[in-house]
Structure 1
């Protein structure tokens, strides 16, 4: 992208808005919509052009000219095949990796400038003699028991996306704002190095933590319970390779960010553990538009005479949301409550194999007449008919669905991850005095989840108290207008800054 046009804010987004629906995307959408006086653009990182990039949101008028980068699309590696890496630059590559292994990121600026100004073809970076020698040197053939072929392909799969990010032409902006570390965070580092403009980072879920969970669940990773069945596993080393890469990308983003924002104290502590400067981090809780949810559930709802019940699950049908635990908990509820309807509201296409497994589990549990997969819907169309919202994620930050349900007067059952306990039991003394607006359960525990759902549905007085507590909690502590005002002031402060070193 070559243009003299300058935007107020350039968002750096990975697998999210406006092409993927979800809590983070909704947060971004509402943030942009709440600041019509600013002009936003974005670099949107998606997996592959084989998947259609269709807007999942009606984007505001002040969101313009988004640029799409496909992470895993093939690249013409023969372009400029005769350009060779100089001995000076290959030594820079060697020193950079040596220092990075020791958590020294002081040469990152050298790497960004090397890739942007010299733009070596990928054929040279992966098959050139000098680059090959560095790869073999890092493999340490005299002491490494792992397969070199596996090492080579792991290196290629992890580094190809990085090599694609480094030379990208980015939109000109007064402020760059990445909503994760990872590859989007790396683009933020590039923007900071090349433009000198401030880089802001907001983490909802901690990227490194979520990637670790995904890697641990990947089919190519041995489970702990299999440890006794094998003498040696080569996969452990490559699992570590992937995790280490994401940790290093996070450290780079933390270091180059002018400021770091996150949703609750637990996230802040994890960021510090991963190398972030505590003085840079500020906790800014999420917020929602109260007008969208207040009054959705009638104030005179008859809890006492109710004989039919509806349970909702809002989220993508993917492993990290642990839909299977939810379904098993519903089986427990369905045994006790005859007139039960369950809605699973969220996209099903992101992990089609997992979705099919969930559909099969519904059949296995004989819940076909109880459970409905709605796909992506307007949650406000369903909230009025719901009696409880359930969240069984194995990782969350500060889920909007709990705030939305509580604001509508609907109690929630949520696994003890992220800030769910704060949202349902209160964060401060004044917040806790309102009383619980739901029940927190153990992670991946269908029994405790099912029992919690039953407790709320079968206890009219408790449900009424939780409903009132939730409404008051969100009205007092989680207003979207407060969030937007906070970020608008942040943007204005950093937009006014001179270029940074």
Structure 2
């Protein structure tokens, strides 16, 4: 069986998170072939893989958004769309109602147009944009509106016309561009399509857009609505949608995913990687705070630094070690370094990407400061290394720390509100001052991971999922 994994802004260019999940999935299922269709942000990353491809990964096809946006077309075509096709694109652009991927497939099926820019650069679609502008955005400059629409829609129109690798199952790791592309694949090929929703992609994009400088304020709502619309189309196209925990499943339903398509498969961790790490000891030396996290805005390293500044005032010998990649957002890394200097902090180390299993034995408590997560592998790895965690209340963290309604194991750390550095500092200090509390919480985290979040359980679930998908077929996918 061959599975086509559709990734976006992650594998194989970014270390950790969804990328680690993809690598673990392929390595754990050597009996299946995988091909990766990767949608990246910038062409400068072409071929710069952060992972050694498993033997059963037979190839990676790369496409980059900046290269799509740099394409130029010299001719504007006229009269290429029917009235119904114009209306379909108008409804898509408005994003008020969930539409069927089949309607887009009729317009964008591969081979229909000589140029992938033909539809966007046609007078027919220009009329659609003008109509939408006059109805809802006429108080704003049209030039700004047009270039915003181009940035939003041109990549999707291009991607919908690309020929995907042949596969028995198409599997997207997000509901953005790659989710809609997966819907196109199942429609054209009749092969099954599934989604794994790690966080809630559309909500993560919303948080990113609100804080961003690259989207003009007047158009932030338009971008946010667009990504929610893509998510609804992706949900409706997939035969199965896998989420990491029940709460995310409920959110997906609220966002338009049919409830009967939701399945829960938690992440799993290689606990044996940490088998050499002893249980937490009261070593009597400087208290070591650790964070296994790439340095990026969504991980909110600034809140962690502010919390550590408070810890440092109370415990001058405390140290902070931030273990994760520094390549994703150099500007944000620079802000973090400036913040360290501004706060007058000492004993803060940014290690870059390191073998985590070699560093965790040195840590007394681990911290996750993210403003958005799914089910973070870093927390499960910390638990596997017998370390308690202080996390923000995002994604599945509350369930990991406190357990669900059927879990009687106890508490494995503490949960605080996102961006609340004072509460974070309080919890770090509370654990720092009580070794027995740290030790008992670490034991709970280890037991919870062993019971519910092992790599073997994770792989077994997806082995079954792929087999059942192939046996059942797409149930609704059709050739156009």
Whether TM exceeds 0.5 here: the answer is yes
2:156 to 149, 162, 169: 162
Q: Give the corresponding residue for 1:443.
A: 418
The Cα of 1:194 is off from its aligned counterpart by 0.9
Cα distance in 2 between the residues matched to 1:195 and 1:243: 30
- 1:264 matched to 2:242? The reply is no
The Cα of 1:84 is off from its aligned counterpart by 4.5
- Name the stretch that deviates more: 94-103 or 26-35: 94-103
1:485 to 460, 467, 479: 460
Work out whether residues 13 and 45 of structure 2, in 8 Å CA contact, stay in contact via their aligned partners in 1.
Answer: no
The Cα of 1:78 is off from its aligned counterpart by 3.2
Q: Give the corresponding residue for 1:309.
A: 287
Structure 2 gap segments, 5+ residues each: none
User: Taking structure 1 as reference, are residues 142 and 347 closer, same or farther at Cα in structure 2, changes over 3 Å only?
Assistant: closer
Cα distance in 1 between the residues matched to 2:164 and 2:187: 12
Q: Give the corresponding residue for 2:332.
A: 354
2:23 to 29, 36, 43: 29
Q: Give the corresponding residue for 1:286.
A: 267
SS in structure 2 opposite 1:342?
strand
- 1:77 matched to 2:58? The reply is no
Cα distance in 1 between the residues matched to 2:41 and 2:8: 9
1:110 to 93, 99, 103: 103
The Cα of 1:382 is off from its aligned counterpart by 0.5
Work out whether residues 346 and 374 of structure 1, in 8 Å CA contact, stay in contact via their aligned partners in 2.
Answer: yes
The Cα of 1:87 is off from its aligned counterpart by 4.5
Q: Give the corresponding residue for 1:225.
A: none
Cα distance in 1 between the residues matched to 2:135 and 2:104: 26
Alignment of 1:390-409 (within 5 A): 390-409=367-386
User: Taking structure 1 as reference, are residues 142 and 256 closer, same or farther at Cα in structure 2, changes over 3 Å only?
Assistant: closer
Cα distance in 2 between the residues matched to 1:197 and 1:139: 38
SS in structure 2 opposite 1:397?
coil
Cα distance in 2 between the residues matched to 1:86 and 1:400: 49
2:57 to 47, 54, 63: 63
The Cα of 1:86 is off from its aligned counterpart by 2.4
Normalising by the residue count of structure 2, what TM-score does the alignment of the two structures yield?
0.94
- Name the stretch that deviates more: 13-22 or 123-132: 123-132
Cα distance in 2 between the residues matched to 1:93 and 1:68: 30
Deviation digits for residues 112-150 of structure 1, max 9, x if unmatched?
Answer: 232224225366434433222222112117982111111
The Cα of 1:338 is off from its aligned counterpart by 2.8
SS in structure 2 opposite 1:349?
coil
- 1:380 matched to 2:354? The reply is no
SS in structure 1 opposite 2:5?
strand
The Cα of 1:53 is off from its aligned counterpart by 3.6
- Name the stretch that deviates more: 133-142 or 172-181: 133-142
Deviation digits for residues 288-342 of structure 1, max 9, x if unmatched?
Answer: 111112341x23x542x51322111111211111100000111111112232221
Q: Give the corresponding residue for 1:230.
A: none
Cα distance in 2 between the residues matched to 1:454 and 1:76: 54
Cα distance in 2 between the residues matched to 1:68 and 1:343: 34
User: Taking structure 1 as reference, are residues 165 and 475 closer, same or farther at Cα in structure 2, changes over 3 Å only?
Assistant: same
2:87 to 63, 87, 94: 94
The Cα of 1:210 is off from its aligned counterpart by 0.2
1:413 to 367, 377, 390: 390
User: Taking structure 1 as reference, are residues 87 and 96 closer, same or farther at Cα in structure 2, changes over 3 Å only?
Assistant: closer
1:455 to 426, 430, 444: 430
Q: Give the corresponding residue for 1:494.
A: 469
Cα distance in 1 between the residues matched to 2:124 and 2:168: 39
SS in structure 2 opposite 1:202?
strand
Deviation digits for residues 181-204 of structure 1, max 9, x if unmatched?
Answer: 101111101111110100000011
Query: RMSD between aligned alpha carbons?
Result: 2.0
Work out whether residues 47 and 70 of structure 1, in 8 Å CA contact, stay in contact via their aligned partners in 2.
Answer: yes
User: Taking structure 1 as reference, are residues 104 and 286 closer, same or farther at Cα in structure 2, changes over 3 Å only?
Assistant: closer
The Cα of 1:496 is off from its aligned counterpart by 2.5
User: Taking structure 1 as reference, are residues 419 and 207 closer, same or farther at Cα in structure 2, changes over 3 Å only?
Assistant: same
The Cα of 1:47 is off from its aligned counterpart by 0.8
Cα distance in 1 between the residues matched to 2:286 and 2:393: 28
Cα distance in 1 between the residues matched to 2:70 and 2:336: 36
Q: Give the corresponding residue for 1:339.
A: 317
